[in-house]
Every structure is written in structure tokens, then in C-alpha cells.
Amino acid sequence: MAAAVYFVLGRSGSGKSRYLRSRIRALLEAGAAVRCIVPEQFTYETERQLAEEGIAGAPVYSFTTLARQALEEQGNGRVFLSPQGKRMAVRKTLEEMQQSLYAFGRVQNTPGFTQACAQLFTRFKRSEISPEQLAQAAQGLPEGDLLGDKLRDLARLYGETEGYLQGRYLDEEDGFAAFCAALPTSSFAGKHIVLDGIEFKGQQTWRALGLLMDVAASLHIALRLDPNPSRDKGLFAGEARALDRLRAMAGERGCHVQTIALPHPDFPPRFAAPMLAHLEKEAFAFPFFPYGGKSDGSIRLFAALDREGEAAAAAEAVLSAARSGVRYRDMAVIAGDPSYMGPLERAFSARGIPFFSDARHKLTDFAAPRLLMAALRCVSRGFVQNDLLDLMKTGLCGVSRDDWEYLENHLVAWGLRGQSLSRPLGQPDTPPQAEAARQRLMGPLFRLRDALGGASTAAGKTEALFAYMEELDLYGQLQARTAALEAAGELERMEENAQVYAHILTVLDQMHAILGDTPLSTRRYLAIFQEGLNAYEIGAIPATVDQVLLGSLDRTRARDLRALFILGANEGKFPPDTPDDGVIDDAELAQLEALGLPRWENTQELAQAANMDLYGMLTKPRELLYLSYALSAGADAALPAAMVDRVQALFPDLPLETQLAPALPGSDAGGLDALARGLRTLADTGHAPAGLAALYGYYAAQPDHANTLAGLEQALFPALSPAPFGYDLALQLYGGAPGGSATRLEAYNTCPFRHFVQYGLRAQPRREYKERRADEGVFCHQALDRFLQAIRERDPGALDEAQVDELLDGILPPLLAAHNGGVLMDTARGRAKAARLVGAVRATAQAMVAQLKDSGFRPGESEVSFGEGCPYPALTLRLENGAMYKLSGRIDRVDTAQVDAAAYYRVVDYKQGGQAFDYAQLYHGLRLQLPLYVAALEAVHTLAAPAGMYYMPVADPALSEEAAPLKERLQAAFRLQGLTLSDPVLEAAGMLEEGMDTGRGKGLVSRDEFQAVVDFAVDKARDTLGAIMEGGAAVSPARYKQSDPCKTCHYKGICAFDPQLGCRARGLGSMNKDDFLTAIGQKQEDGHAVDK
């Protein structure tokens, strides 16, 4: 006998669930057996509500749990395959067929493609579409049609996957089929069935509903739609189509059909506020009617500048509702985007609001799965450095954090990877902690590599991976982490971490069951294993009862609520857009239907369902609905959702609250937020918002907030530069006689704070296995030094280009191999850079020889060192307080000349790309090297006179095809830039022009001018040393022309120098020779002395 079918129809909040619970109570009291079926996400809530009303004896199911129960009862020994396991099976098929796919050949490795295919195959199965039907539909399409190509690929993939699984495994769809087959003799036969909402899952759901009509005593089916004609009937179109089909099915079976329309006097609407009742009727109506009554405060609308502002305002609103008597458990905060979870959790924690986050985290977000994926990548890719670092940073590889940081720094510095890690670390200055970490890390990895290499099947590789987990005691480590989280009171994180190991074992069990004896490479095994891990998500259940629920619009189904707070009501997010970009798009879906295949929901129907979910969410609260949106999304502007516009149109008198004119804060955290915003406005505009002084005074009088207030002031009104810390502390930082090189003095004059961090704190950037600009300079200097050593005893005038190249051929190869740990020879990019550097050295050497031929100078010494323990003594400076400091350095090249009885020398400093001699940089202490080098030589070369100081470019210039001879073009490209002594002896010998920038007298200076430059540099060095020893550490970068020292500074993350906060660099003006000489007054030393 067919069941009696009762359709319970009503809008949201009309009392459908209350009516069904009353019928369940009445049936149970009459001695009848009742079974409840609800959507999966409502099972817990339905059980809770039945229990709270004292209704017992009515089990609650979902179609999903019924399918799994049927599998357990009729599985016939076959393994149950979870949706995650099915994704792994699809990935296996894709790996095997990747070379034969036509339409999907280029996208089959795209992230998300496996998941899309698995979901599509599930739809096929639920719609009872076979692979043969897909192939037949493809034959009905023209040759070359894209849909036809897709269907052929999908038919093969679907068929291969199902063929492999058939007879071995059962999935949820098989379970649903088993449930339908067993219905006539199941515990549902002859029972009263209550369906509070139907989770439609294709043709299988309709088959189950039809069978229930055949075998049940009665069916009560609740559908959310208006039983009467309404202005928003389009909203209920999906439910209306379902009702029509259900009525037709009941009629075909001769069922007694009755419709119960709600609301009913015995089941009034749940809304306690007239505004909320009006919103429920008019939110989706056309035409709509504005609210005519007075505002009752049950709807609030808030506009924030950003998501952080939204979260803070929502937290304040929750506190306000709690103070009005609403329990935390009766409130929920729903966000239109999962990215709100972080700001919400921070805002609620700062205010002490108990909350439970309904967000789910991917299994691969946790350390243990990342450990296993990194270990498999290490083995399959030959222990690539990044894979090893990923493995160590999980903290689960058996190496302590301190030790793996030593090993990480060593690996990065020396570029170690692969088989080099099978041997003890033998590089210079290898820390013992790094070697100990290598042994603990690589031992288990090498054993995993050997075990995986010896296992040809998926089952063998799974056992090898499990053995690696056992060797690391992964279970014990995760248990310790879980206990630590529990001890710290982080109960939700504790519960999530407690699930990780079980999920990993589930994936391994599925791998073993699905793939078994299938031959599989480690690379393919990794791809399938990673697909399985990606399919799992982890969530937690509430740790206590009285908590605010934090959820997202796409997954949270809140219980009956008094207050609901919705964040992120922005266009495209509320509701979320439904893109038409699936594997099968809407147009292709229509073609499938035309070919006779059942179809699933298109984007228009999905959008209707999203609107229905939105309608259900808006009508959930009984007393308060709080809607907020952000005016910006990152760097982009954001628009409010259409529903916000509708709410404003429905309630013209509803005030729009904004972050620009916030309500009075209701918590310390809210007050501090308001104070920070007010101070920010004051800093930006110079005008204090109303109430800022009182708010500041309140917190200034609270000792507990002194540090917070000081932090706000420092952040908004930064005083970056510390006061000079004095001579005593400087002695401790820099030593009794700091000295150093000219480069160090230039660093101080460029930015005192940079000098303090680099030389006082001795903070250094981490060394990396790569060729930096400074390393290139070292290579070029070494190469040119060896070249000069080779030609020192030879006559440069006798060397031709071929001889120069021959000499370099013997110098450069061994130098390249040994340079910087061999980094230049390690990669194709490094070898290309090496070729560029070799070209620069060759061109510079040729130019050097040409200059020496024509200048009358001969190569004297190269890489000339002066300082403690060097061939030449340090340049000693005495300060006014009597302290003496020694400057050291290394001069790239010193050329010498003998003209009659007069001896001369000149100083040459190599600069990659070239460097002009600039009087402004000298005056401000940014370029002191050349004159200080001359001062150091003057102290020892008492019988020779300086003839010049120069920068020489080190480059491989692209010489254009011009009429000028090559020699002239080479000289122009490598012309020495600097100062030349205007000496009659040198001029008579013709030694002032060739290869030197002396045009228009720019580089020619008299002996007095030359000496004034040298003496000024010494004075500047002395003054700079004095400032250093006074403890100067100002954040004061010097900006000259287009140069910005902050761009290349390693320490810009420390000083907090930010032009957007009003920080300004020292702007330096340019100078020519006359400006410089005028500025220094061409005076002799004014009481300072240079000790020679």
C-alpha cells in the first residue's frame, strides 16, 4: 500500500521544523515508529532540538549516512572508498592515461583538475549516466567538436576508473544504490518518515523518494516555499519544481496527498521584530514595499574601511548584544569569505569573547602531512635543497630547531644537495651542529630512499613510508604536540591536531587498498598520495556550550538564533558568484540534455540555490540582524552587495554606521582601536577627531596600558634615530681602536644607523650560494691582480692583444673553478654570468695594457695592503681627545713612473661599470677611498710624488661600429676617471692625456689643489671616526642625485625608515671643483695632524 504523503510548505521562519517535531511527538505517543531524514549538515542540530524538547525514539539520518550504513550491511567484503579515496583513484587513472588524452592533455596536471573530474564522475553516477552513454553522445557530435572531444576523454577516464573499482570497492553512490535496493525489506518499510528538507543528489535521490512512497506508512516532507502566490515566487523556483515532481510521483503511485500550509495559528512565525518579518517578505520581492513603521533596532548596517575594521566592529556589536541579555550560544557571526576568520579570531580574542570557529583546515596545512610529502619529494627529486628545507621546517624530522637552523644556513651558503649530503660536511668552518643535524636528517631519508627503490608496487611503497613514520616516531611526536596544546588551553587546535595522524593512516589505507600490487614509480606514488591528502579537511567541535559561532556563508548552517552578524556583504561575495567555467559549461550541459542525457544544475539554477541559502541566512535571527561590508579589498575598492542596497531601500530610515564615525567603544580593545584610528588621523591631517583627547587621557591614566600607548605613539609618530649612546658604549661595541677601512667610513656617512647595525651589532645577511655583485667584484679584482703579476716584469708596450688573451687563458679557468665555491660553474645561469665576467676582465686587461703603453707609467704593485700586519703601515689618525685610530685598506693598483730624476706614482681603483670622481660625494664623505689611499702612500713614499688618483671601469663595453679606430674607442670606454696632477715635468713628457679624463681641465688640478683634496679626506675621516666614537647611530640615509641607499640596504627591515610615515632622507646637492675648493676654503690643516 502506498504511503500517505504530507507536504509541509512555508516560508523561512514559518514553523515547518516546529510542526514536524510536533508530528513526531504525536506519532511516537501513538506508538508508531518514526524515522527522520535531514540534510547531512543538520543531523546534529536536529538531534539536539529533539532532545531539548524531550522527544526520544526517532533516529535521525541523512541520505549520506543511510548510504554508508547500507554499505556496512551489504558490502560483501568490498572496501569502502571515501570521496578522498575516489580522488586518488581518479588521479591514478589520469597518471596512466596522460599521454592519450586529447581535450584534457594540457590541463590534466592543473591543480584542481582531479577534484573536478572526481566530482563530475560522481554526478554521472548519481544521474545514472554510464561511460557508454557518454561515448555514444560523443558520436552524435560533429568531428572536431570540443564537447565531443571532452566526452570521449571523459568516457575513457570514467570507464577506466569505474572498471578498476568495480568488484573491489564501494563508494557512497554504490551505497545509495544498495540502500534503494534494500528499502522494501529495510527498517524503513512500514515506518513514518519525516524529511525536514531534501538534499537532492541527482536521479538516485528521486529513486529513493519514490521507493519511500512505495514502502513507508507515511511521508512528511517539508519544503521551503510560499504556499500562496507571492511577489518573490522566483526565489522558490527550485523548491517549486521539486514539489511538482514529488506530487506527480505520489499521484502515479496512488498516494494520499495532503498539503499543510504554514504559518498556522498554532505555529506562528518565529520573528520577534517587525523589521525582520518585513525583510523576510520583501528582500527578494518584485515590486517591493518599503517598511512603514518605526525602526525597532533589529537591523543594523555597518560600512568599514577594511576587513580588520569590520571584524573589530562586529566584535563590539557582539559585546553590546551580550550586555543586553543575549547569550553567546544564541549568536553567530557568518562571513562572506573565509579570509575573515583570522581578523575575527584576533578581534574576539582581544576582547575576551568565547568563540568557536567552524572553519575547516586542509590536512596539508598541518606539519605531519607536509613532512611526508617533503620526504617523498626529497627521494623522487634527488634531495633538492628546497625539499630538504621544507622537511626540516616541519619540526618533525628528528632535528631540533637550533640544529636545523645551523644546517639550513650551511646548505644555503654552500648550495649542498643530492649525494653531497651522504658524506660528512667538509666545508671550511662547518658548525658541528650542522653535521649532527645532517646525520639525524639524512639517515632515515636514505633508508626511505632505499626502501622505496626496492618496492615496485604501491603497497610496498606505502609500507616503506609507514616504516619512515615509525622510525621518526611520528605518532608520539603528534601526541606530545596535542598534549602541549591541551596544557596551553588551545582546545580547538588540540582537537584538530589529534585528528591528523588518523587521517594520514586513512589515506595510506586507501592507497594500499586502491592501488595494492599496481606497479608505481615514486613520482607517481607521490602525485596520488598528495591528491589524497589534499582531499581531506579537518575541523573541530565546540569545546564549551556558551560560545559565539564563527562560520562562513558557504558551509555554516547555524541553529535557531537570536542575533546574527553577517560580514563581507560585498558584491561578488554575498552571495558568491557562480562562474560558468566547469569542465562542462552551461552551453555544453544543454547539448547533453538535447542528446538525451540527464543533466545537473546549470549556473542559473546554482545561483538560484545560492539566493535561497542567502534568504535562509537573512531570516535566521529572531531579534537582531547585523550586516556589514568593507569599502576596500586589499588595494582594490569594493562595492556593497545588491542585498545591502535592497535593505537600505526597504528601510529608508535605517542609519548607516561607519568606521569613520564609530559608536562609543564597549571594551578596552575597542577603545584602543578607536584611539589608534584617531591618532592616525591626527598624524595624517594634523587635526584631532572629536573625543580623542578624552580617550587619550583615559588610557594615559591607566598604568596597565602604558606600554601599549607608548607603542602606538612610536608607531604613529616615529622617532627612529636614537640619541648618541656615548664614548663608553662605543668602546664596548667597536673596540678600543676600531679603525677599519675607508669603506666603513663611507658606510657611516651614507647612513649612521646602517654602520651601527653592521659594525656595532655585527648583523650580517645570511650567506647564500649565489653570485652577488660584491662577489663579481672580488673575481674581477683577483683576475686583474694575477694578470698584473704576470706582466710586471714585462714591457706592456711589447704585448699585443693575442698575448694578453693567452696570459688570461692560463689565469681565468682555475680562478673560475675555485671562485665562491664553484657557484659560477654550477648552473647554466652561472656559466652565462661567468662568460660575462670573463669578457669584462679580458676587455679591461686589453684597455689596461693600452693605457700603460701610452702613459709612460709601468705597473708597480697590485692589491697593495696597508694596516696592521700588512706590507705598508696603517694610516694613523689622532682625534682631539688624544685617541689614535688606524685606517687600513687595499689599493687595487699602484702605477709608477720615472721622469728624469723625478719619481711619480698614481693610484687606480677598479669599479664595475665605472665610477666618476665626484666632489660632492667626497665633501659629504661618501667617496673617501682614493684620497685616503694617496694619504696612506704619502706616509711611506717620501721620495715619490703622487701624479693622480683614478677610478677605472671594469666592463665589457659594446663597441659600436664607428669610423674611429678601435684603439680610440677602447680608450674612450675605459678612460680613467679622477684627478691628475698638473705637473710641468709630466706635461713635458706627454703623460697627462692618454687614457685619462682631463678634457676641459676637468681632472687637472694643481699640486696645492691635489693636496687640499687629500688633506680634506683625512680630516673627513677623522671627523667621521669622532662621530662614530660618540655613539652616533641616526637613521639618516644620504640621498644624492638618483641614488637611494635604502634600496640596497640589508637592514631596511630594522630601522623602520618609511617615507610614507614622513621620514625624509638627507638630500645632498652637487658640486664642481670650484664649489668644493671654495667650501673647504683651500685652507691647510687647522690643528689636526696626520701622523706619517
Contact 600, 660 (CB under 8 A): no
- Residues sharing a CB contact under 8 Å with residue 931, sequence separation 6 or more, in sequence order: 922, 949, 1013, 1014, 1016, 1017, 1018
Rg (CA), the chain: 40
At 182, which helix (H) or strand (E)? helix 172-182
C-alpha cell at 655: 542609519
Show me where the domains of the chain are located.
4-65+188-269, 79-166, 276-360+543-658, 362-538, 668-716, 778-955+966-1080
Task: Please choose, from the candidates 39, 451, 96, 23, the residue with its C-alpha nearest in 3D space to the C-alpha of residue 260.
Answer: 23
pLDDT of residue 995: 54
Total residue length of the chain: 1092
With both helix axes pointing from N to C terminus, report the angle between 491-515 and 83-97 in degrees, rounded to the nearest 10.
50
Residues 6+ apart with CB under 8 A from 316: 351, 663, 665, 666, 667, 670
User: What are the residue ranges in the chain where pLDDT is below 50?
Assistant: 75, 999-1001, 1082-1092
Pairing mode, strands 331-335 and 561-567 = parallel
How confident is the prediction for the chain on average, in pLDDT? 87
Q: N- to C-terminal Cα distance for the chain?
A: 120
Query: In a 3-state reduction of DSSP, which class is residue 636?
Result: strand
Query: What nine digits make up the cell of 972?
Result: 674612450
Residue 894 — left, alpha, or beta (φ > 0 → left; ψ -120 to 50 → alpha)? beta
Q: In whole angstroms, give the CA distance from residue 963 to residue 847.
A: 19
- State the burial class of residue 983 (Cβ atoms within 10 Å of its Cβ: 0-12, 13-18, 19+): buried
CA torsion angle 356 357 360 366 (round to 10):
-80
CA dist 878 → 415, 737, 776, 874 (Å) = 45, 11, 36, 13
For 1067, the grid coordinates are: 638630500
Q: Which fold has domain 276-360+543-658?
A: Rossmann fold (3.40.50)
Q: Which three cell numbers stand for residue 1069?
A: 646637492
* Run of H or E including 257: strand 257-261
**Which class in CATH covers the domain with range 362-538?**
mainly alpha
Q: How far is CA 885 from CA 469, 758, 836, in A?
A: 60, 19, 40
H/E run at residue 625: strand 621-630
Cell numbers found for residue 649 = 531601500
Q: What SS3 state is found at 872? A: strand
**Dihedral sign from CA coordinates of 96, 99, 103, 107:** positive
d(CA 992, CA 981): 8
Residue 759 is classified by DSSP as I
> How far is residue 33's CA from residue 414's CA, in Å, rounded to a whole number?
74
Query: Cell for 324?
Result: 543586553
The phi and psi torsions of 222 (rounded to 5 degrees) equal: -95, 130
CB atoms within 10 A of CB 1085: 11
**Is there a contact between 922 and 1015 (Cβ–Cβ < 8 Å)?**
no
- Residues 371, 377, 380, 382, Cα dihedral to 10°: -100
Q: How far apart are CA 470 and CA 196, in angstroms?
A: 47
Q: What is the reported pLDDT for 648?
A: 95
4-65+188-269 has which fold? Rossmann fold (3.40.50)
The pLDDT value given to residue 1084: 40
Tell me if 785 sits within 8 A of 845, measured CB to CB.
no
Spatial CA neighbour of 183 closest among 212, 203, 206: 212
Taking the model in full, what pTM does it have? 0.77
Which region holds residue 568: left if phi is over 0, alpha if psi is between -120 and 50, else beta? left
Is there a common fold for 4-65+188-269 and 276-360+543-658? yes
325 three-class SS:
coil
Q: Determine the Cα–Cα distance for residues 255 and 6; give it in Å rounded to an integer.
A: 10
Contacts from 708-713 at CB under 8 Å and sequence distance 24+? Answer: 708/672, 712/672, 712/675, 712/676, 712/679, 713/679
Phi, psi of 783 (to 5 degrees): -65, -45
What residues does 630 pair with on adjacent strands? 304
Strands (E), 336-418: 355-357, 361-362
Neighbours of 160 (CB within 10 A): 18
The single-letter DSSP state of residue 722 is P
Helix H, strand E, coil C: the string for 880-938 is CCCCEEEECEEEEEEEEEEECCEEEEEEEEEEECCCCCCHHHHHCCCCCHHHHHHHHHH
Nearest C-alpha neighbor of 223 from the set 41, 38, 16: 16
Q: What is residue 537's DSSP assignment?
A: E
Other Cβ atoms less than 10 A from the Cβ of 1047: the count is: 7
Cis peptide upstream of residue 263 (ω within 30 degrees of 0): yes
pLDDT in tens, 848-873: 888 888 778 888 889 999 988 888 89
Nearest C-alpha neighbor of 551 from the set 564, 562, 538: 564
